[in-house]
């Protein structure tokens, strides 16, 4: 302040004049908080409580599921209504199965720390080829042209489905904070949905910027007694034809069709 008590800066004088005239001083706009949505359970289906779910996809009326744990990892075709396993293959004990994606007539399945992925023929589940990568394998989906992979960090990797070579990366942030522990993924209507490991939340991510657009709070799907025997939420599938969303978790006894709604 000067000796007369007036602000020294021109900006300060302008603000003082505005106040004298009754004009409110301009305030920097506040960023809107990321919205948090809840859910409504539309329907409940049985789910194998021994399935350590790592990947979930719904295509052409069939639910495909990848499960984990050494000695228990599988790739399965499952009947949604009954939860019955229609067909499955078992991975060798050395492999810990992770996320899956159905791309055209092939199914891709990651493994956790073996740096090996398997590609199967969708109709028969016969092994077609193997692919390699240098990161850990967690979740997998695709946007119609590229596979999208998570590795438990805040980075998503875009891969060429023909070669599995990396063709791009996306750093995911919730505001200014990197969003760690990105896990199972699903592409839904132009957004990447990602389970965040060890939480009951799913992030909706903009695929061009990596910004978290919204959160979905899925707490309370299981009863306290059911949670005692279950592991974390992990598994998102989208029925694009009927716009249905299915979720489940590792060792969960149920699979849920949900409708996202405001809390």
d(CA 19, CA 223): 57
Residue ranges per structural domain of the chain: 1-30, 31-262
CA angle 229, 260, 179 (to 5 degrees): 70
Tell me the fold of 31-262. Neuraminidase (2.120.10)
Tokens of 228: 């005692």
Half-sphere exposure of 234 (CA within 13 A, CB side): 28
Output the tens digit of pLDDT for each of the chain's 263 residues. 444 343 434 344 344 344 334 444 445 455 788 999 999 999 999 999 999 999 999 999 999 999 999 999 999 999 999 999 999 999 999 999 999 999 999 999 999 999 999 999 999 999 999 999 999 999 999 999 999 999 999 999 999 999 999 999 999 999 999 999 999 999 999 999 999 999 999 999 999 999 999 999 999 999 999 999 999 999 999 999 999 999 999 999 999 999 999 87
């Amino acid at each position: 302040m000067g000796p007369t008590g007036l602000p020294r800066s021109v900006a300060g004088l302008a603000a003082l004049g505005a106040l004298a005239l009754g004009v409110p001083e301009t305030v920097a706009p506040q960023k809107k908080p990321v919205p948090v949505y809840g859910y409504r359970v539309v329907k409940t289906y049985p789910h194998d409580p021994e399935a350590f779910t790592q990947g979930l996809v719904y295509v052409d009326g069939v639910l495909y599921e990848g499960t984990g744990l050494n000695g228990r990892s599988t790739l399965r075709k499952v009947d949604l209504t009954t939860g019955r396993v229609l067909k499955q293959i078992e991975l060798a004990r050395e492999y810990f199965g992770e996320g899956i994606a159905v791309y055209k007539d092939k199914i891709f399945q990651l493994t956790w720390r073996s740096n090996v992925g398997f590609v199967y023929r969708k109709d028969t589940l016969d092994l077609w080829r193997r692919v390699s990568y240098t990161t850990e394998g967690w979740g997998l989906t695709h946007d119609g042209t590229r596979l999208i992979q998570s590795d438990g960090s805040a980075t998503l990797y875009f891969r060429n489905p023909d070669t599995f070579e990396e063709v791009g990366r996306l750093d995911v942030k919730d505001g200014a904070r990197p969003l760690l522990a990105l896990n199972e993924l699903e592409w839904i209507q132009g957004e990447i949905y990602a389970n965040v490991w060890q939480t009951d939340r799913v992030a909706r991510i903009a695929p061009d910027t990596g910004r978290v657009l919204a959160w979905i709070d899925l707490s309370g799907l299981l009863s306290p007694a059911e949670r005692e025997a279950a592991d974390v939420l992990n598994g998102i599938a989208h029925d694009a034809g009927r716009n249905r969303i299915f979720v489940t978790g590792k060792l969960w006894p149920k699979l849920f069709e949900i409708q996202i709604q405001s809390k």
